[in-house]
Amino acid sequence: MSKAKTDGAITTTQPVKFYQVGSFAVGNRLVDPSLRTVQADAARTNAITSGHRACQGCGEALGARYVLDAAMRATGGKLVAVNATGCLEVFTTPYPETSWQLPWLHSLFGNAASVATGVAAALEVQGRNDVRVIAQAGDGGTVDIGFGCLSGMFERNDDVLFVCYDNEAYMNTGVQRSGATPPAARTATTEAVGREPGNPFDQGKNLPRLAMAHGIRYVATATVADLHDLEAKVERAMDFRGARYLHLLVPCPLGWSSAPADTIRIARLAKESGLFPVFEAVDGEVTAASGIRRLVPVEEYLRLQGRFRHLFDSSGAVAKTDIVARLQKLADANIERFGLLQPEVT
Amino acid sequence: MEKPFAITLDVGSSLANKTGSWRVERPVYIDRLPPCNDACPAGENVQGWLYYAEAGEYEQAWRQLVQDNPFPAVMGRVCYRPCETVCNRAQLDEAVGINAVERFLGDQAIEHGWSFEAAPPSSGGRVLVVGAGPAGLSTAYHLRRLGHAVVIYETGATPGGMMRFGIPKYRLPRDVLDAEVERICALGVELHLNRKVTDLPATMRDDGFDAVFLAVGAQLAKRAYLPAGDSAHILDAVSLLHSMEGASPPRLGRRVVVYGGGDTAMDAARTARRLGATDAVVVYRRTRERMPAHDVEVEEATDEGVLMKWLSTITEVDEGQILLEQMVLDDKGFPQPTGRFEKLDADCVVLALGEESDLSLLTGMDDVEIADGVVQVGPDLMTGHPGLFAGGDVVPAERTATNAIGNGKRAARTIDGWLRGETPREPARHELAGFEHLNTWYYADAPKTERPRLELVRRTSTFDEVVGGLDETNALFEARRCLSCGNCFECDNCFGVCPDNAVVKLGPGKRYEFDYDYCKGCGICMVECPCGAIVMEPERA
Ligand SMILES: Cc1cc2nc3c(=O)[nH]c(=O)nc-3n(C[C@H](O)[C@H](O)[C@H](O)COP(=O)(O)OP(=O)(O)OC[C@H]3O[C@@H](n4cnc5c(N)ncnc54)[C@H](O)[C@@H]3O)c2cc1C
Ligand SMILES: Cc1ncc(C[n+]2csc(CCOP(=O)(O)OP(=O)(O)O)c2C)c(N)n1
Ligand code: SF4
Ligand SMILES: [Mg+2]
């Protein structure tokens, strides 16, 4: 707000462009429809239609619809999706039903990237460069068993957007640890016992940074909590040819033991605490990061999730202060590395 | 058709799987009561009219506003804004400038000549309203809209009551007041000026009214005994402010002392400054915190050079000088004399010790109960005399124009019911939309717009209006700061965040609907609704 003072008379000037919910909500009746998200559009693709069998409040079901609806708009509906095994495949296609509203192929747990490469090559041979290819997998299918195929796809720069729906464990088979499971999290294979309960520190892989190290054109991270940001990234990814990678944080109420209603809230806190940095990288260099708007300590994020319950006492106060401090350090390092508290970065 | 190896069923859609059967709780759209609406003494649907103003639909906004209050331009200037005090946005950055937008809408209406929808022809009762202040005019307005014939008897030569003879011009320009009063009269209200009612039972009987609304306000200045010399110049604030409407303003002298701590005292002191007083001193027997005057009034008076003397009583008035005794507050907060005195130069003393009602017109009406100088009424605003209703300053209530206008609306409703022989049903009040129901993440940060104020020099030499209005640009901005507490404003969040596509978008103005065939009851929509317009209810077995 700018205030000009003259002899006791106050005059103020305000820009009128204020839309009550800013650019945070899904839609906004006060702005031009072109400025609203794809999800605000009653005619969106609904790539995964109703009746799918994902748990109540599943972040992965939501995230996949967000990504594919945006990609469908960006490509004018000319899109093929290749899916690895995992919840996303299982809950959408129990034989003989399907929820998919676009051409969709299932492959194996570990080879979605290679199958997508094949689809892209086949289209290329047919001269159908207008049809675009997305490969999608859970974090297990991306950072663990699928990593060899994915690394090859990156190296060859195949014309595929690979999307990882990161719910931080192997959910479909009962919540086993993956290379994307965060330290201290309890899973079926990292129980909350011993001196360092849950998943050990200093393990796991940072796939976005590994993707950047391959020098591919475009790498981005996002969460289901910021739809405008996510859709813009999908659209941008579709502007590039060659290998691209999108890493999307999708809370899982079952595996994280969180309230189904809190799925988006938890994703928001992951970003606002600094634990999950949201950024974009072009040709291996970070070009933009989403700044933190309302900084919170990591415990606010952890407290809502049963997989971290062993860090708190029965009243909800932090019990394992040393472990929470180590997690806070990880968040602080992200804030530092990506400049998440500088208002200039958007 | 021949099926491939190991395939026995045709391809089906997951739509066959009605996941609604999983639900243990169901989301339901509700409207909660925004705190501003709850607090408005005039019963305005503040959030409702801001909703239109946000979209730049000013006439629609004004029409929504005048459903409850026919005085937006007046209120947008003199209301003490209980709505802003409770506005949820205050907990985020600053309260929405509701009052400033109200004034903008009121001024737009005057500028563009918007008129009320024509009232239905008078077919119901014939109602007498005694007094054309805000209470009387508001009742008249609402009664006309309900189809009753309304006659107003008013002592004065001009309508408006204390809005004209109390509130000074620098806070309420008279062309604004006139425009809003005329618009009410244009609904077919019969206004008789210079017509004082002295014997109400006789008037009711002789002039054949079915019901009466008593809105005579409080016109008489309270007096206090002050030992005074023969040439001491003492007058009261009510007469001072009243005489400002006449041709020749009174002469007060250079040093004016105002005795009292209410809004009237502030207006008297500010008026004295404008009439040329170099010193205008308000003397009050208690402290600033205990002063009944509203903060804005005290601030504006102080800005204009009015001085305050706390914890003092006037014990003697003489020509050119008064004697003050200093007070202390006792444990209960009552002022007690200290025996310490001081002198203060004063050419005149203006008493602003409150106002009383002249109830002589009720003589002989034994069924009307009077206590503490005011008329006692039930929640329906009816007195003990059947068919005689009362409201505004003449009944026990907060003495503000806003409250008087609200009383007028309430009385119109109950008079209408009484004339029809029905008890009007109180509209159901929704549950309050408290701050805890909001998800404020979705609201962009936006500090309040300040209204421009007149330069100080002109505030002490002229009666020009002090507080300016907003222009289109910043009125729109200010309206858009509203959080729409408890009421859907179609942000599409629920439609976007449902993992099961179980929210149906019905189109502009029509909001949304849940598709309970597929809704699994996860509750994300409830948590992510910015304004708290969704609740989860246990699923019926
Ligand atoms: C100096 C001053 C400043 C104020 N400032 C504000 C403010 O900023 N904001 C605010 O909300 N409120 C303010 N108030 C209070 C507000 O003006 C009153 O609460 C409000 O006007 C009361 O309305 P009413 O209709 O009950 O009575 P009134 O406004 O007093 O109107 C009563 C009318 O009845 C007429 N009448 C009386 N007896 C008879 C009779 N026997 N026959 C016929 N007619 C009769 C009177 O002439 C008068 O016109 C202020 C009051 C004063 C005195
Ligand atoms: C080669 C192979 N090993 C194991 C499995 C069993 N399996 C199916 S899905 C899955 C885990 C999927 O985890 P993730 O990729 O993270 O997806 P999520 O279910 O969490 O979305 C496993 C282990 C398999 N299908 N194929
Ligand atoms: S287990 Fe997690 S990822 Fe899988 S369907 Fe349930 S909520 Fe979604
Ligand atoms: Mg997983």
The strand pair at B255-259 and B348-351 is best described as: parallel
Q: Are residues A24 and A150 in the same domain?
A: no
Q: At what angle do helices B58-65 and B46-54 cross, to 10 degrees?
A: 170
CA distance A111 to chain B (A): 23
Kindly state the helix (H) or strand (E) to which residue A79 belongs, with its residue range: strand A79-83
Q: What region does A175 belong to: left with phi over 0, alpha with psi -120 to 50, or beta? A: left
Please name the member of A7, A30, A51 whose beta carbon is closest to the beta carbon of B455.
Answer: A7
Domain B14-31+488-538: CATH architecture, name and number where available:
2-Layer Sandwich (3.30)
Q: Are residues A60 and A16 in the same domain?
A: no
Q: With contact defined as beta carbons under 8 Å apart, do B68 and B43 qualify?
A: yes
Q: Into how many domains does chain A fold?
A: 2
Substitution candidate for ligand 2 out of A89, A114, A143, A173 with most atoms within 8 A of CB: A173
Which CATH entry fits the domain spanning B232-353: 3.50.50.60, 3.40.50.720, 3.40.50.700, 3.30.70.3150?
A: 3.50.50.60
Substitution candidate for ligand 2 out of A93, A171, A172, A247 with most atoms within 8 A of CB: A172
Rounded to the nearest angstrom, the distance between the alpha carbon of A105 and the centre of ligand 2 is 16
Q: Are residues A115 and A23 in the same domain?
A: no
Cβ–Cβ contact A126 with B under 8 A = no
Residue from B349, B387, B355 nearest B374 by CA: B355
Q: Are residues A79 and A228 in the same domain?
A: yes
Q: At what angle do helices B98-112 and B46-54 cross, to 10 degrees?
A: 70
The superfamily in CATH containing domain B126-219+357-420 is: FAD/NAD(P)-binding domain (3.50.50.60)
Residue from A75, A92, A60 nearest A248 by CA: A60
| Contact check, Cβ <8 Å, A20/B480 | yes
| Contact check, Cβ <8 Å, B473/A3 | no
Q: What is the CATH number for A208?
A: 3.40.50.970
Domain ranges, residue A26: 1-36
Q: Are residues A259 and A221 in the same domain?
A: yes
Q: Are residues A194 and A115 in the same domain?
A: yes
DSSP string, B160-173: -THHHHTS-TTTS-
CA distance A53 to chain B (A): 8
Q: Are residues A175 and A31 in the same domain?
A: no
- Residues of B whose CB is below 8 A from A98: 11-14
- Residues of A whose CB is below 8 A from B449: 1, 12, 14
Question: CATH 3.30.413.10: does it fit domain B35-114+441-479?
Answer: no
Can you read off the two tokens belonging to residue B393?
Answer: 């300053």
Kindly state the helix (H) or strand (E) to which residue B525 belongs, with its residue range: helix B524-528
| Spatial distance between the Cα atoms of B455 and A7, rounded to a whole number of angstroms | 6
Residue from B347, B249, B329, B233 nearest B289 by CA: B329
Question: Does residue A41 form part of some domain?
Answer: no
Ligand 1 is surrounded, with C-beta below 6 A, by: B 78-80, 130-136, 153-156, 161-163, 166-167, 196-197, 215-217, 219, 241, 263-264, 267, 358, 361, 392-394, 399-402, 404
Question: Does residue A120 form part of some domain?
Answer: yes
- For chain B, the structural domain boundaries read 14-31+488-538, 35-114+441-479, 126-219+357-420, 232-353
Enumerate residues 260 to 279 of chain A having a beta carbon within 8 A of any beta carbon in chain B: 260-265, 268
Q: Are residues A107 and A6 in the same domain?
A: no
Q: Are residues A22 and A166 in the same domain?
A: no
Rounded to the nearest angstrom, the distance between the alpha carbon of A170 and the centre of ligand 1 is 74
Q: With contact defined as beta carbons under 8 Å apart, do B293 and B449 qualify?
A: no
Q: Are residues A54 and A190 in the same domain?
A: yes
pLDDT in tens, A246-265: 999 999 999 999 999 999 99
Q: Are residues A95 and A228 in the same domain?
A: yes
Question: Does residue A283 form part of some domain?
Answer: yes
User: What is the complex's ipTM, to 2 decimals?
Assistant: 0.93
| Spatial distance between the Cα atoms of B528 and A39, rounded to a whole number of angstroms | 14
Please report, rounded to a whole number, the percentage of residues in chain A having pLDDT higher than 70. 92
pLDDT confidence of A42, banded at 50, 70, 90? very high
Q: At what angle do helices B401-420 and B134-145 cross, to 10 degrees?
A: 40
Residue from B280, B289, B290, B241 nearest B259 by CA: B280
| Contact check, Cβ <8 Å, B496/A263 | no
pLDDT confidence of A22, banded at 50, 70, 90? low
The number of beta carbons lying within 10 Å of the beta carbon of residue A241 is: 12
Q: Are residues A19 and A52 in the same domain?
A: no
pTM assigned to the model:
0.92
Q: What is the mean pLDDT of chain A?
A: 93
Domains B126-219+357-420 and B232-353 share a fold: yes
Per residue of chain B (541 residues), what is the pLDDT tens digit? 688 888 888 889 999 999 999 999 999 999 999 999 999 999 999 999 999 999 999 999 999 999 999 999 999 999 999 999 999 999 998 999 999 999 999 999 999 999 999 999 887 789 999 999 999 999 999 999 999 999 999 999 999 999 999 999 999 999 999 999 999 999 999 999 999 999 999 999 998 999 999 999 999 999 888 888 888 899 999 999 999 988 788 889 999 999 999 999 999 999 999 999 999 999 999 999 999 999 989 999 999 999 999 999 999 998 899 999 999 999 998 999 999 999 999 999 999 999 999 999 999 999 999 999 999 999 999 999 999 999 999 999 999 999 999 999 999 999 999 999 988 777 788 999 999 999 999 998 877 777 888 888 888 888 999 999 888 888 998 999 999 999 999 999 999 999 999 999 999 999 999 999 999 999 999 999 999 999 999 998 7
Cβ–Cβ contact A96 with B under 8 A = yes
